[in-house]
């Protein structure tokens, strides 16, 4: 059985059209050097979200949560415990992030 782009879109609910997702970096010598533990995003960035959280706190929480999804589900490493920092610029602008073709990148 071969997974198709439509399968990715249906099963994960990811866009399959839009701008390509690119997370290229120049130096690839030490991959661990360029990663952050997913638990860091949970403990330091996300944690518990208060009901009366400020807009800034809500945006930080949202971006941290997206980084957890990227590193833990969409592009996991061998141990599902780290996320590459190359994805950080993509979550800086959430409107632009939402227009990217994440489904194509996951299938590739």
Helices assigned H by DSSP within 29-74: 38-40, 55-69
Q: What percent of the chain has pLDDT over 70?
A: 85
Q: How far is CA 55 from the centre of its chain?
A: 21
Q: Where are the domains of the chain?
A: 5-24+33-107
Across 55-82, average pLDDT: 85
Q: What percent of the chain has pLDDT over 90?
A: 14
């Amino acid at each position: 059985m071969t997974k198709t782009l439509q399968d990715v879109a249906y099963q994960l609910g990811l866009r399959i059209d839009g701008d390509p997702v690119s997370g290229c970096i120049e130096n690839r010598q030490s991959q661990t050097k360029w990663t952050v533990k997913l638990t860091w995003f949970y403990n330091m960035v996300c944690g518990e979200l208060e009901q009366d959280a400020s807009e800034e706190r809500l945006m930080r929480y949202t971006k941290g949560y997206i980084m957890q999804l990227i590193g833990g589900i969409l592009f996991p490493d061998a141990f599902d415990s780290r996320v590459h920092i190359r994805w950080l610029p993509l979550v800086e602008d959430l409107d632009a992030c939402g227009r990217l073709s994440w489904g194509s990148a996951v299938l590739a």
